[in-house]
A and B are shown apart, each in its own frame.
Chain A
Amino acid sequence: MSGVQQRESAVQRKRQIGEVLLAVENIGLRFGGVQALSGVSFDIREGEIRAIIGPNGAGKSSMLNVINGFYQPQEGVIVWRGQRLRRMRPHFAARSGIARTFQNIALFKGMSTLDNIMTGRMLKMRATMLEQAIYWGRARREELEHRAFVERIIDFLEIQHIRNVPVGRLPYGLQKRVELARALAMQPTLLLLDEPMAGMNLEEKEDMCRYILDVNEEFGTTVALIEHDMGVVMDISDRVVVLDYGRLLADGPPEAVRRDPEVIKAYLGVPHE
């Protein structure tokens, strides 16, 4: 990207970014005697791409788990659209439009790609068990409607050819893409991505970056992602949170974080110039 383009897109993005969507305040999380997170506070604004970085074991994944309710923190408050919550519950998170992908792919291995993505529409289906048993009326109508929606996501992520393949048989890169598709099927307000590009080659990474940017720009989906590839983080994120040993180390726009002496000391190492 040339400098001019970068500045232009930065102006555009400022317009897109809105109110605070989610904030965590003073989050403390312990497992037995291990303090995974302590006193972490930051916020995520509507429409932005927020990166969470930090060395291994810094508590990044735990942070995402707290946000979507899989872990319950002992201290702190989660503010979701102005609503102050002591803790999140997975079901509430899903219903509120928080979707998520995992570091070690968590797909339903015995199910086809299509079925996996269709699970993302689950919360929007209303048919009763009896209606489903006879596949009539609402059950049939819903199924076809959501199928049509899911097919659009399949087109968008270019995975038509693996529609009916059990995901357990897919190569790693495609599995990551199916997982993204499944999260997108929930039409999320906030999309949490846990290392979406880990273990990918350059080409696959570029594809993934494009998908993330497209999702963010076209659907206005807010994205929070954990990523180790600094190039990617600096390029696509609007603001960056740095965690280290379960504490907040820095928070700000990528350039500021990159220059932050604390961050350089703890994480990026000595700049080689």
Chain B
Amino acid sequence: MIYRETGQFKTSYGADQAIFPIAQDRIGMLIIMALAFVAIPLTASDYWLTTILLPLVIYGLAALGLNILTGYAGQLSLGTGGFMACGAFAAYKLSTAFPELHVLVVFALSGLITAAVGMLFGLPSLRIKGFYLAVATLAAQFFLLWLFNKVPWFTNYSASGVISAPPLAIWGETYVTGFEATPRAKYLFALSIVTVMALAAKNMTRLKIGRAWRAIRDMDIAAEIMGIRPLATKLSAFAVSSFYCGVAGALWAFAYTGAVEALAFDINVSFRILFMIIIGGLGSILGSFLGAAFIVLLPIFLNNALLAMGMAEAVALASHLEFMIMGALIIFFLIVEPHGLARLWQIGKEKLRKWPFPY
């Protein structure tokens, strides 16, 4: 009844090519944005902001990055953690070597550095496909982490290998990273970056470059014969994806944990993010965030459930159960809905269009 597109006539291809061609979607998006940017910062507690919302948006960004590579371009990667670490350390080195650089410049540059590293590890993708590539990306994961762990230059020769992220201000004295920043400022900062990057991803994936990615994913031979260069296209997917992961890693270290350490980005992070896009939906921008929300909220929900059952000390048990449930859910989703939560959302919308008179 409410969600109807009847009577909304598109009179130009421009209107049909808009990001949200249906009026209700536009309004819905505006409401969500208003909630995220205004209502949540005004009402949410610091606990909610720092332990749930901040990791949620940052994970969402990393998942989006992986989704570009895996969901859109079809190149499976298990090296997301390595690329995030790369972004975090690049941001750290840049902000300590050039303290006068603006925080946005630091983040953009660390994204670009990660993009370059990503392209380097993407080079084998010309000759190898699928599972073989997955193993090659494992090399990125283990090698990069080892590099940041073992080469003292990356940690500015700190003895412990754990370093705190320097405070950076977006303007004047308004800090958005490090311990000086308020949770609200960090959340808004991260959210703004993520929103802009998500919009950019939406545009890229639906225009020329996105079509090239999807074409390579669906049938690389035909794509080649359409004049799409396989290597350039795959490398561009690696570059854009790594850029997103790099910025997410920098945000993770600078805005969320406040510490730059390689161990925060181990292989489990890579898997976690892969799970996000499977559960959320491969090849869907919205799905990346739905999946991130799901995976971030699941352990919190589990812990609380165990607590409620009077098993307060069962931390190890909770993490094992989390593993089990996550594994089972992955299988469940792959069987029932390989396109993830995003697809369920779409089906819901289809139903809603006809509601309450389906015939």
Interface residues of A (CB under 8 A from B): 68-70, 90-91, 93-95, 100, 102, 106-111, 115, 118-120, 122-123, 125, 127, 129, 132-135, 139-140, 142-144, 147-148, 151, 182, 186
Interface residues of B, Cβ cutoff 8 Å to A? 12-14, 16-17, 19, 200-201, 203-204, 207-209, 211-212, 214-215, 217-219, 221-229, 236, 240, 283
A129 nearest CB across to chain B (Å):
6
Residue of A nearest to B232 (CB): A91
Question: Using Cβ atoms and an 8 Å threshold, which residues of chain A touch B203?
Answer: 132-135, 139
Check B225–A100 contact: CB distance below 8 A: yes
B259: shortest Cβ distance to chain A, in Å?
A: 31
Residues in A whose Cβ lies below 8 Å from that of B221: 70, 106
Q: Which residues on the A side are within 8 Å of B13 (C-beta)?
A: 144, 147-148, 151
Which chain B residues lie closer than 8 Å to A125 at the CB level?
208
In the bound complex, CA of A172 to CA of B203 (Å): 31
When C-beta atoms are compared, the residue in chain A nearest to B240 turns out to be A129
A271 to chain B, nearest CB (A): 38
15 additional A-B pairs beyond A115-B211, A119-B223, beta carbons within 8 Å, are: A69-B225, A70-B221, A91-B229, A108-B215, A108-B222, A109-B218, A110-B218, A111-B214, A111-B215, A119-B211, A122-B208, A123-B226, A125-B208, A133-B203, A142-B208
Q: Give A35 Cβ to nearest chain B Cβ, in Å.
A: 23
Contact with B227, one of A110, A123, A127, A129 (Cβ below 8 angstroms): A123
Distance, CA A127 to CA B206, complexed state (A): 14
Cβ 8 A contact of A118, one of B200, B201, B211: B211
Q: Which residues of B contact A108 (CB under 8 A)?
A: 214-215, 217-219, 222-223
Q: Is the CB of B204 within 8 A of A106?
A: no
Task: Give bound CA distance, A129 to B211, whole Å.
Answer: 12
How many Å lie between the Cα of A48 and that of B115 in the bound state? 48
The minimal Cβ–Cβ distance linking A16 to chain B, given in whole angstroms, is 27
Taking CB atoms, residues of chain B closer than 8 Å to A120 are 226
Interface contact tally, CB-CB below 8 A: 102
**Closest A residue, CB atoms, query B12:** A144
Given known contacts A108-B214, A129-B236, A133-B204, is B227 in contact with A144 (CB within 8 Å)? Answer: no
- Asked whether, in the complex, the Cβ of B212 is within 8 Å of the Cβ of A144, the reply is no
Contact B214 A186 (CB under 8 A): no
By a CB distance below 8 angstroms, the chain B residues around A115 are 211, 214
Contacting residues, chain A, for B214 (C-beta < 8 A): 108, 110-111, 115
Residues of B within 8 A of A132 (CB): 203-204, 207-209
- Distance, CA A123 to CA B233, complexed state (A): 13
Given contacts A139-B207, A144-B13, contact A119 B200 (CB under 8 A): no
In the complex, residue of chain A having the shortest beta-carbon distance to the beta carbon of B207: A132
CB nearest to B216 among chain A residues: A108
Q: In the complex, A118 Cα to B229 Cα: how many Å?
A: 16
Residues of A within 8 A of B219 (CB): 106-109
In the assembled complex, the CB of A50 is this many whole angstroms from the nearest CB of chain B, namely: 19
Q: Is the CB of B226 within 8 A of A122?
A: yes
Q: How far is the CB of A55 from chain B (nearest CB, A)?
A: 25
Q: Are A94 and B226 in contact (CB under 8 A)?
A: yes
> Quick one: closest A residue to B14, CB to CB?
A144
Q: What are 5 residue pairs bridging A and B, where the CB atoms are less than 8 Å apart in the complex?
A: A106-B219, A120-B226, A122-B211, A132-B203, A135-B19
* Nearest chain A residue, comparing its CB with the CB of B197: A133
Minimum distance in angstroms from B196 CB to a CB of chain A: 10
CA distance A181 to B240 in the complex (A): 30
**Nearest 6 interchain pairs by C-beta:** A94-B227, A106-B222, A108-B218, A133-B200, A135-B203, A132-B207
Q: Closest Cβ of chain A: how far from B30's Cβ, in Å? A: 18
Cα distance A109–B211 when bound, in Å? Answer: 12
* Residue from the set B212, B225, B228 with the largest chain A CB neighbour count within 10 Å: B225
Chain B residues with CB under 8 A of A142: 208
Residues of A within 8 A of B222 (CB): 102, 106-108
Neighbour of B204 across the interface among A69, A123, A129, A182, CB < 8 A: A129
B180: min CB distance to chain A, Å:
32
In the docked arrangement, what's the CA distance between A109 and B283, Å?
13
**A residues less than 8 Å from B17 (CB atoms):** 143-144, 147
Tell whether, in the assembled complex, residue B14 and residue A122 are in contact, meaning their CB atoms are under 8 Å apart. no
Question: Which residue of A is nearest B19, CB measured?
Answer: A135
Q: Is the CB of A127 within 8 A of B200?
A: no
CA distance A142 to B17 in the complex (A): 12
Name the A residues within 8 Å of B204 (CB-CB).
129, 132-133
Give B219's nearest chain A residue, CB to CB: A106
Decide if A91 touches B208 in the complex (CB within 8 Å): no
- Shortest C-beta distance, B91 to chain A (Å), equals 21
B297 to chain A, nearest CB (A): 29
Residues of A with C-beta under 8 A to B218: 107-111
Contact, CB under 8 Å: B225 / A119: no
B200 to chain A: which residues have CB within 8 Å?
Answer: 133-134
Q: Which residues of the partner chain B approach A100 to less than 8 Å between Cβ atoms? A: 225
- Complex Cα–Cα for A127 and B204 (A): 11
Provide the residues of chain A in CB contact with B228, threshold 8 Å. 119, 122
CB of B225 within 8 A of CB of A70, answer: yes
Most chain-A CB neighbours within 10 Å: which of B217, B219, B223?
Answer: B219
